[in-house]
């Protein structure tokens, strides 16, 4: 089947379903599909009846009426009359099979299609209604089988022709039941796919900061939990960079909150551009703070990434008339790293990075400070103090 034809058929069986709740849309689509299947099954018989229209005129004429009723089902759904459309589709099938069988007898096997329609009830009705309709279909089949045996109906069919028609009806019964089941499965799959897309969109909304488009604290916590477990298994290392926009409160007060949001957006874009690997994570940590998590990265390499990001942000040239450091927006960055086994948990790593960030602020802002450098300086200062104390003791 070519693509335009397939799209046209799909558009027909979705008449009235657009804008409806998922369950209702599925029921409307299935109702339309049953009506279209009724038309598709009837047309080959009509082609046969035309070959001897004199003998089969009556059955041909009633089938024309039934085809019209099937098509009316689509119009009812399009008009929003969903219950009437469902009743028309199911009612037309049941009545058509009964009327046609009463005209040409069970020799043609038309009443076998009651099995097909019974397979569709559960897709459209409640449990109780489904059981009642299945009972009705079974009763109609039995009535046809007993009341219209070969040779007792107004139209007599030659024996060879009746055998061919019976086989065709049996095959058609299987094909219709299989087609209805397949189409129902397609609708279920489509509904599940839509649900998955909606859930993913919801997850994205709850994991993304609305101002910067970066990960938020919730996404950061989930990422760190997974990554930390992975690094613990392999004994890996991790580094963190805490980024703080210098004098941002003064920027907000002077330029306004909308300008402040645009500033944060540009800083976020620049930080994202400075990242070297897809596995690295950037998240908005607080008002004007960002955190960069760099798995399998030494503190020294993380400091290089941080310095590149700092320089890129300066090069943006965002005017900042209230900054004592520079006439443009700048950032201070604290970097810390270490092995997962030595750190113990992520909070310990964040504490180190925060200590380094505080030191960067004290050193005049617009710079990158490593925690390891602070630790070495503190160790050297302590050593010097001990040495001085020893010398005073000796003197």
What are the tokens at 83?
Answer: 């219950």
Which residue, among 306, 303, 313, has the nearest Cα to 269 in the 3D structure? 313
Together in a domain, 267 and 357:
yes
Together in a domain, 136 and 227:
no
Contact 162, 108 (CB under 8 A): yes
The packing angle between helices 371-394 and 346-362, to 10°, is: 70
Q: Is 382 a residue whose pLDDT tops 90?
A: no
Together in a domain, 179 and 258:
no
| Burial label, 308 (beta-carbon count in 10 A; 0-12, 13-18, 19+) | middle
Whole-angstrom Cα distance, residue 339 to residue 280?
16
pLDDT band at 390 (very low <50, low <70, confident <90, very high): low
Q: How many folded domains does the chain comprise? A: 2
pTM of the model: 0.54
Whole-angstrom Cα distance, residue 61 to residue 46?
9
pLDDT band at 14 (very low <50, low <70, confident <90, very high): confident
Residue 384: per-residue pLDDT: 47
CA distances from 330 to 18, 44, 122, 260, 288 (A): 51, 77, 65, 13, 12
Which residue, among 137, 127, 145, 43, has the nearest Cα to 90 in the 3D structure? 137
Residue that terminates a domain, selected from 159, 181, 204: 204
Together in a domain, 56 and 184:
yes
CATH code, domain carrying 233: 3.30.70.270
Domain limits for position 361 = 217-391
Together in a domain, 73 and 149:
yes
Together in a domain, 173 and 307:
no
Per-residue model confidence as pLDDT tens digits over 216-241: 888 888 888 888 888 888 777 889 99
Together in a domain, 142 and 57:
yes
Residue that terminates a domain, selected from 204, 225, 256: 204
Together in a domain, 245 and 198:
no
Together in a domain, 300 and 367:
yes
CA distances from 95 to 63, 86, 87, 91 (A): 11, 14, 12, 6
Specify if 210 maps to a domain.
no
pLDDT band at 303 (very low <50, low <70, confident <90, very high): very high
Residue that terminates a domain, selected from 140, 170, 204: 204
H helix intervals, 152-235: 159-207, 217-234
Specify if 200 maps to a domain.
yes
Specify if 211 maps to a domain.
no
Together in a domain, 56 and 171:
yes
């Amino acid at each position: 089947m070519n693509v335009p034809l397939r799209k046209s058929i799909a558009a027909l069986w979705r008449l009235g379903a657009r804008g409806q709740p998922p369950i209702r849309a599925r029921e409307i689509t299935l109702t339309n599909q049953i009506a279209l299947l009724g038309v598709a099954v009837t047309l080959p018989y009509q082609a046969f009846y035309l070959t001897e229209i004199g003998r089969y005129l009556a059955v041909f004429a009633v089938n024309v009426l039934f085809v019209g009723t099937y098509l009316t089902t689509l119009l009812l759904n399009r008009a929003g009359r969903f219950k009437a459309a469902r009743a028309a589709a199911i009612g037309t099938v049941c009545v058509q099979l009964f009327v046609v069988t009463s005209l040409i007898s069970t020799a043609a096997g038309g009443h076998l299609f009651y099995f097909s329609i019974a397979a569709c009830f559960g897709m459209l009705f409640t449990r109780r209604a489904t059981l009642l309709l299945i009972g009705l279909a079974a009763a109609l089949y039995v009535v046809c089988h007993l009341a219209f045996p070969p040779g007792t109906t107004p139209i007599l069919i030659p024996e060879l022709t009746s055998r061919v028609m019976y086989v065709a009806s049996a095959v058609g019964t299987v094909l219709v039941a299989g087609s209805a089941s397949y189409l129902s499965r397609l609708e279920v799959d489509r509904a599940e796919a839509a649900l998955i897309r909606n859930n993913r969109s919801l997850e994205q909304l709850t994991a993304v900061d609305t101002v910067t488009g970066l990960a938020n604290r919730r996404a950061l916590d989930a990422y760190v939990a997974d990554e930390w477990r992975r690094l613990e298994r392999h004994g890996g290392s991790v580094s963190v960079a805490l980024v703080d926009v210098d004098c941002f409160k003064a920027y907000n007060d002077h330029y306004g909150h909308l300008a402040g949001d645009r500033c944060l957006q540009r800083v976020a874009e620049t930080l994202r551009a400075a990242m070297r690997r897809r596995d690295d994570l950037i998240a908005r940590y607080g008002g004007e703070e960002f955190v960069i998590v760099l798995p399998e990265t030494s503190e020294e390499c993380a400091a290089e990434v941080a310095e590149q990001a700092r320089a890129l942000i300066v090069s943006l040239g965002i005017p900042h008339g209230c900054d004592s450091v520079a006439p443009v927006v700048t950032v201070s960055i604290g970097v810390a790293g270490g092995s997962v086994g030595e750190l113990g948990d992520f909070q310990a790593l964040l504490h180190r990075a925060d200590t380094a960030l505080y030191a960067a602020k004290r050193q005049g802002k617009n710079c990158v400070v490593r925690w390891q450098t602070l630790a070495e300086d503190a160790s050297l200062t302590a050593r010097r103090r001990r040495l001085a104390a020893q010398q005073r003791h000796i003197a």
